[in-house]
Chain A
C-alpha cells in the first residue's frame, strides 16, 4: 500500500462517531463587529461601549479606523491627478515606482516585469484592490491585479487604490464576493508587514511592505 492509500484507509477506519452535520455558515444574521475595535496599542483608545453598524451607515469611517489600528493609513482623492500628487507628496524621494494601475504611470510598468527578482529595488508599488473589508481594514489583492505577485511584498511601500463603494463589513461578506479558484494567489492585506516578536514591541516593515496607504478612488468608467 502506498502512503496515500495507507493514510486514507487509516483515516476511514478511525472516523469518529457520531457524524456531525455540516452547519450552514450563512444562515444566522451576522451582527458584524462593534466599531473601534482593533490592534494592540489601539486598545488603549477603546470606548467601553460601542455599537454595531446600522444598515444604512457608511462603512468607510469604520474601514479607515480599523486600517489605522493595523498600522495603515488612507486618503480620499478626487481623481487620478490627485492620486499622483499624493504619491509624490508621501514619497518625495522614491526612485522606483512600479505601477500596476492605469491611473498612476510610475517609473516602471509591472506588465514589463518578467521575473519577480526584478522588483527587489522597488521603492513604491501601486496596485488596485477590488474589495475592502471593514472589520479588519483589509484590502483584497490577487494575481489579476498584482500581475507579478511579488509586487505586493517586495515593494518597500505599497499604495492601494480602492473604490470606497467596494467595502463590505465582515469576512463572511468578503468570501461571498470572491471566487478563490480564479487566481492562483489572493491576499487579504490588513496594514503593512508587522512583527511583535521582540518583547511584543510592534514594528512595521518586518519583511514585506514598510507602509500601506489606501487611496479611495473609483476606477475610471470604461
Chain B
C-alpha cells in the first residue's frame, strides 16, 4: 500500500511496543480455571464465608425445596391431567406473552429516552415510574377499577367496542402490564445507560445513521441487561396476583387458580399449580441469565 509505514515505524514498532502489555490474546486469566474457588475454602475465614453464603442461599430457596419435598409425582400427574386443569396455564402464558410484547413495543423506547436524557425534566419522569413501582399491586388493582372499570370513561369507550376491562383477558393483560412495567422500564433504562455514548458517536462518524447505530451498537451492547429486565418483567407478569384478583378474577391464570383451589379444596391440591408456575416461569429468566453470561464471556474474549 502506498502509505505503508517503514518497517521501523509500523511493524517493527508494533513488535517492540505492544509485546509487554496485558497478556496474549486467547489465554484465559488464571482465576477462571477454578483455582480461586478451591483456594476459597482453604482458610477458616474462607470456610466460614462459604458456609454462611450457603446457609443464606438454602434459606432463600427454602420454599422451592419445600415444594419439591411435599409433592409426589401422582399429585403432579393428576393436577396436569384433570379436565380443564391446563387452561390456567395457557391463560397465564398467553397473557404474560402479550404483556411482554406490550412492554417491548411501548416501554423500550421510553427506557431509551430516559437513559439518554432525551426527555425534559428526566427526574420527574423517573419519579413517576418509581411511584408505580412503589404502589402495592393490590392498590394498583383498586385504582385500575376506577381507571378502566365500567364506570370510567375508558370503560365506556371500551363498551362501545363491546369490550370490557374487568374480568376479561384484556383486564388480565392490563393488570400484568401495570405490575411488571416499572421493573422493565427501570431495568432497561439502566441497560441502555450502561452503553457508552462515545461508542454510538463513533459508529455515527463511521457512517451509520442513528437507527443503524441503535441496531448495530446500542442494542447488542444493552441486550444482556435488556434480557434480564425482560426476564424479571416476565416473572412479575406471570406471577401477578394483587392487581389481578381485583380487576381480572376471571379468566383464571395460574396464580388465581392457586388462590381459588386453596380456598375451595385446601393446601395440598393447590401445591401442584405452584410447581407448574415455577416450571413455566423459570425457563425464560434462566435462558436470559445464561445468554447474558455467555455474551459477557464472549466480550472478554
- The reply to whether chain A is a binding partner of chain B is no
**A interface with B by C-beta (< 8 Å):** none
**B interface with A by C-beta (< 8 Å):** none
